[in-house]
Amino acid sequence: MEPLALYVHWPFCASKCPYCDFNSHVRERVDHVRWRDALLRELRREAERAGRRPLVSVFFGGGTPSLMAPETAAALIAEARTLFDAPDGLEVTLEANPTSVERGRLAAFREAGVNRLSLGVQSLDEDALRFLGRRHDAVEAEAALEVARALFPRLSFDLIYARPGQAEAAWRAELRRALALAADHLSLYQLTIEPGTRFATEHARGAFALPADDDAAALYVATAEEAGRFGLLPYEVSNYARPGAESRHNLQYWRYGDYLGIGPGAHQRLSADGGALLATRRHRAPEEWLARVERDGHAVTGEEALAPPDRMREALLMGLRLAEGVDTARLEARCGMPFADAVDPFMLAACEEEGYLERPPGGGRLRATAEGRLRLDAMLPVLLR
């Protein structure tokens, strides 16, 4: 049986950040009991379809899942453990914001079974935090990190860089301060402008400009250098970890494994009988999702069996983000077609010659080099047939 990961989406935030295009919503009040029941209901329904399988990980994302009642997390974790075969060290991650309110609830989440915390720090610079529309300051961020480090066996946090006007030296300094806070995992994202966000409007109006590509590339290289000095290695385009501390849950996505997605707008990839791979999506609007689950037991709005070439594209666009690259034999089995039919051999050779792609010794794998990962979005359309 294919192992699977479980993702739970909590769609609510205290406020909407100007850069964020995730499925998040601000609501005055949330009926936590109804939400808990609905999430549990959808989980049971999907578990029934999936069958009993090894469970890789649980991940509470959002939105701001640290705003959910810790009891909800506890109930979902417990339910997942009964529905699937969970190993002793099951990775259970919660995303949280470093505001003082949430900081006070962290112990309860640890109690509920969360053993890995991912804090949305975003910056240690006050001006940058204001620009990013965050509700915490640098002092709160450091306090939250301290509490989290004491509570959770594993800790990660996010930073956003390549911000308007950000100089390389300033970023290196900020990053060093962050690295000294002794997390075993960091997600370091370059700021991008997503359609439909407040930043998209402001950027189009010329309110601010992002660094030019050459400068952004230099910042990326500087980032890997600084992280490397602290023993954190880039195992994915934007993710850095001490060896062994990688996010198992996210690796499941990037390795194109099965995952269940529960909650509004959550996506799911689940292998089914006869070698099919089903892509499922759910209603994005929180109230509609809730009403549908309460009425039908689920809020699925679309489901398709992915054709082999589509799977191949998905597997490669995810897998080449990883430093380890893809295992071509596993890819062929997972996607149901020969790897050689998925890529243009001439472009594959050109990318290898240019040092964008390589086949590590030992064989059986293809991976993007650091240079290749930096240009992955340009490489995929020419590489894939």
Contacts with another protein by CB under 8 A lie at 7, 23, 189-192, 213-214, 216-217, 220, 237-238, 250, 253, 259, 261, 265-269, 279, 281, 310, 313-314, 317-318, 321, 346-347, 350-351, 354, 356, 373-382, 384
Structure tokens at 138: 């640098």
189: Cβ contacts below 8 Å, ≥ 6 apart: 158, 159, 160, 161, 238
Least CB distance from residue 162 to another protein, whole Å?
9
Closest CA to 224 of 246, 240, 244: 240
Least CB distance from residue 320 to another protein, whole Å?
10
Decide whether 110 or 342 has the Cβ nearer to another protein. 342
Tell me if 192 sits within 8 A of 163, measured CB to CB: no
Decide whether 23 or 72 has the Cβ nearer to another protein. 23
Decide whether 206 or 346 has the Cβ nearer to another protein. 346
Q: Is 123 exposed, middle or buried (0-12, 13-18, 19+ CB in 10 A)?
A: buried
Least CB distance from residue 116 to another protein, whole Å?
15
Decide whether 289 or 356 has the Cβ nearer to another protein. 356
Least CB distance from residue 210 to another protein, whole Å?
11
Structure tokens at 276: 């099919």
CA distances to 173, 219, 222, 326 from 355, rounded to whole Å, are 30, 20, 20, 17
Residue 373 CA to residue 238 CA, distance in Å, equals: 10
Least CB distance from residue 83 to another protein, whole Å?
19
Q: How crowded is the C-beta side of 213, counted as CA atoms within 13 Å?
A: 2
Closest CA to 154 of 123, 120, 182: 182
Closest CA to 119 of 103, 139, 133, 101: 103
Segment holding 294, helix H or strand E:
helix 286-296
Decide whether 66 or 250 has the Cβ nearer to another protein. 250
Least CB distance from residue 349 to another protein, whole Å?
9
Decide whether 114 or 312 has the Cβ nearer to another protein. 312
Decide whether 105 or 284 has the Cβ nearer to another protein. 284
Tell me if 125 sits within 8 A of 138, measured CB to CB: yes
Residue 151 CA to residue 102 CA, distance in Å, equals: 14
Three-state DSSP class for 151?
A: helix
Residue 334 CA to residue 311 CA, distance in Å, equals: 8
Decide whether 110 or 282 has the Cβ nearer to another protein. 282
Decide whether 84 or 253 has the Cβ nearer to another protein. 253
For residue 211, what is the DSSP state? P
Least CB distance from residue 108 to another protein, whole Å?
26
Least CB distance from residue 378 to another protein, whole Å?
4
Least CB distance from residue 294 to another protein, whole Å?
23
Decide whether 23 or 156 has the Cβ nearer to another protein. 23
Least CB distance from residue 352 to another protein, whole Å?
11
State the alpha helices, DSSP H only, in 156-212.
168-179, 198-205
Residue 148 CA to residue 154 CA, distance in Å, equals: 9
Residue 222 CA to residue 218 CA, distance in Å, equals: 6
